[in-house]
Amino acid sequence: MSPFLWFALAVFVLTALPCALYFAAYLARGDDRLRAQALRFYRWSALAVLITFNITIFKHIILTIASL
C-alpha cells in the first residue's frame, strides 16, 4: 500500500471511530445532540473515502493518458 492510502486509512479511522462512539452513546441515551455529532463525523468519514476514491481513479487516468 502506498503512503497515500495509509494516510487515507488513518483519516478514515480517525473520523469513523468517533462516529461509532457517538452513535453508540446516542443509542444508549437518546440525546439528539449525540446523533447530530455522530452524523457530522459520518459525513467527514464518507468524504474521506470519496476523496480517496477520486484521487486514485484520476491518478490512473492521468497515468494512462501519459503512457499513450
Q: Where do the structural domains in the chain lie, given as residue ranges?
A: 3-67
To the nearest 10 degrees (0 to 180), the angle between helices 32-67 and 3-29 is 160
Q: Residues for the chain: how many in total? A: 68
pLDDT tens digits, one per residue of 5-29: 999 999 999 999 999 999 999 999 9
| Each residue's pLDDT tens digit, 24-59 | 999 999 999 999 999 999 999 999 999 999 999 999
